[in-house]
Structure 1
Amino acid sequence: MYEKDDPRSALGTAAPRPDDGAAIAAPQYFDFHRLAPPDAATPAGRTAIVRGQNVVLVHTSARAGDDLDNGTLDGELAVLVTADSPAISVITEHGATRIGEPGLVVVPPGTSRIGVDGDGPLVRLVEAAEPAWRDRAANADAYARDHPRVTLLRRWPEPPGGPAVRFYPLAGVPDDPARFGRIFRTRSFMVNFLPEAGSPRDPRKLSPHTHDDFEQLSLAVRGEYVHHIRTPWLPDSTGWREDEHVRLGSPSVAIIPPPAVHTSAAADPGGNQLIDIFSPPRADFSAKPGWVLNAGDYPMPRPGRDARR
């Protein structure tokens, strides 16, 4: 499944999930410039909203002076700031926090908004149960019923330091061949900023693999990717699908359901970057010492005790 030099080859192997015969959901693909043209006059017109089972992803082609209202949220908000993003100010009831470099911002529950100080993309993640966001997704109908193969979100423990705006910069996080990407987690999400690929991926060195019980959102923020996805055959042949090899530019997202076999290949010779998003956080990545860079702020649940809705 993985090459020997791929750090994921050292992940523990979980017991396979019993197959109850539930249908396998179809992969989904979204080009954000088609959903929300970047030249629209208002922030709402430049905002694309899609969702997975447990997470809503909000992509805005922001402009200087935009004031992005996050509403009043029951759970945390995560903001993905990339190298192309503008400087922002995260405003809560406790004041304003200015962010001017790439990284992950975690905003505590409650009312918040984002002031934008330049032009560029911003990505927000909210829990799919948030009533202000869940029905605004372009693919809301795909989740009119819960997908039976995806584990529902149960929030991980609260951060020991209590509610606060937390920022985790990417600067100063070196590449480490023993660690897979640059991984951060919140109570509800895991975000992996994968390193930029400066050239297309070698087609002889792909890494097709599966997940038993969670979705993967693969967000392309630079370049192009070809998403190769195979839906396993179940006894009901009416649900069989052809293999898919879908090329998407950026910004875009592929939503990959379990237990589809999948791998993504960078395709642009000018540079490519992918960010993987999971909800809830992945236990296998979390169990690897040193992989989750903010593990001290967001502890793992104790079996049977900490995880709750």
Structure 2
Amino acid sequence: MYDKDDPRSALATAGRPDAGADIAAAQYLDLTATPIVRAQNVVLIHTDAREGDDLDTGALEGELAVVVTDASPAFTVFTDAGATTVDTPGLVVVPPGASRISVHGDGPLVRLVEATEPAWRDRAANADAYAKDHERVALLRRWPEPADGPRVRVYPLSEVPDDPKRFGRIFRTRSFMVNFLPRQDGPRDPHRLSPHHHDDFEQLSLAVQGEYVHHIRTPWLPDRTGWREDEHVRIGSPSVTIIPPPTVHTSEAADPGANQLIDIFSPPRQDFSEKPGWVLNADDYPMP
């Protein structure tokens, strides 16, 4: 449940999980050891980039999204339409087709591609976890095309300061939703956590600074052999935790210094999209 001053408290309350398909296990993935991982609908590629690197994602059937953090280097995106240089944190969206990234410094870059991309779908370290689709997760159906056609789009965080009336800083594309949550200085107040669940989509919680304890509870279904103990897993950064539906979950910043999470969803969330002002680039990407 959410505190009354949490912007998410106004979202529609989800129902109880039904007794249908098995509930998948959560996954805790250290991106220094496994830099390419996936969920049902998205592949996440973490690159510890270096000056002069040339990152070729290939010719994609869907979009490429690049998550740029405070620690990321500047880079230039090359497509058939030209070159776009990025030197500030935020989200970069590259339309389908061939593209490459020329790196102008040292630091992490995170790329997102659709999980059905032939060049990437089997390269994830946890590919075996998705040998079969997870029945409780809705498959990706791309949202409508951008209102003014395909092009490289850059959404700098510097243009949208944090606002306590809004939950994070959210951008969406046709295939992804990325929420840059505020940096947490020091541990989170243990009296103000926000356990909740999602009915039919996974959450990828990307830790880019600090450490987090992910608290996850698997609801009891009629078949007792599928019950799990509650999990309280501490993991550092860079890491990604894949949280399956309909597990009850909340993430607790644990490092005495800076902690930051970026939440990723595919497809975009309908409930967040319906909240006026929450999706900062909603004018570019129409809802279905």
Under TM normalisation by the shorter chain, which class is it? over 0.9
Aligned equivalents of 1:196 and 1:126: distance in 2?
25
1:31, 1:251 within 8 Å by CA — same for their partners in 2?
yes
* 2:271 aligned counterpart, secondary structure: helix
Tell me the equivalent position of 1:23: 22
Percent identity for Structure 1 against Structure 2: 78
Q: Is the aligned partner of 1:7 residue 2:30?
A: no
1:149, 1:213 within 8 Å by CA — same for their partners in 2?
yes
* 1:272 aligned counterpart, secondary structure: strand
* 1:235 aligned counterpart, secondary structure: coil
Alignment of 1:197-276 (within 5 A): 197-276=184-263
Aligned equivalents of 2:105 and 2:161: distance in 1?
27
Instruction: Please tell me the residue identity of whatever aligns with 2:104.
Output: D
Tell me the equivalent position of 2:168: 181
How much has 1:266 moved relative to structure 2?
Answer: 0.4
The one of 90, 93, 105 equivalent to 1:118 is 105
How much has 1:65 moved relative to structure 2?
Answer: 0.6
2:17, 2:199 within 8 Å by CA — same for their partners in 1?
no
Alignment of 1:1-309 (within 5 A): 1-13=1-13, 16=15, 19-35=18-34, 48-301=35-288
Aligned equivalents of 2:208 and 2:248: distance in 1?
23
Aligned equivalents of 2:19 and 2:66: distance in 1?
36
How much has 1:8 moved relative to structure 2?
Answer: 0.2
Aligned equivalents of 2:171 and 2:16: distance in 1?
26
Deviations 1:280-304 (A, max 9, x none): 0000000000000000000100xxx
1:74, 1:130 within 8 Å by CA — same for their partners in 2?
yes
Aligned equivalents of 2:145 and 2:20: distance in 1?
35
Aligned equivalents of 1:96 and 1:183: distance in 2?
25
| Aligned CA distance change for structure 1 residues 18 and 262 (closer, same or farther; 3 Å) | closer
The alignment yields a C-alpha RMSD, in angstroms, of 1.0
Aligned equivalents of 2:161 and 2:152: distance in 1?
24
Tell me the equivalent position of 1:305: none
* 2:112 aligned counterpart, secondary structure: strand
2:73, 2:107 within 8 Å by CA — same for their partners in 1?
yes
Q: Normalised by the size of structure 1, how large is the TM-score?
A: 0.92
How much has 1:19 moved relative to structure 2?
Answer: 2.2
Q: Any unmatched runs of 5+ in structure 1?
A: 36-47, 302-309
Aligned equivalents of 2:48 and 2:215: distance in 1?
27
Q: Normalised by the size of structure 2, how large is the TM-score?
A: 0.98
Aligned equivalents of 1:259 and 1:214: distance in 2?
8
Deviations 1:128-169 (A, max 9, x none): 010100100000000000000000000000001111000000
1:17, 1:213 within 8 Å by CA — same for their partners in 2?
no
* 1:34 aligned counterpart, secondary structure: coil
Aligned equivalents of 1:270 and 1:100: distance in 2?
25
* 1:141 aligned counterpart, secondary structure: helix
Deviations 1:34-65 (A, max 9, x none): 23xxxxxxxxxxxx100000000000000001
Instruction: Please tell me the residue identity of whatever aligns with 2:32.
Output: H
Aligned equivalents of 1:214 and 1:207: distance in 2?
18
Deviations 1:71-101 (A, max 9, x none): 0000010000000000010011111100000
Moved over 2 A (4+): 16-20
Q: Any unmatched runs of 5+ in structure 2?
A: none
* 1:134 aligned counterpart, secondary structure: coil
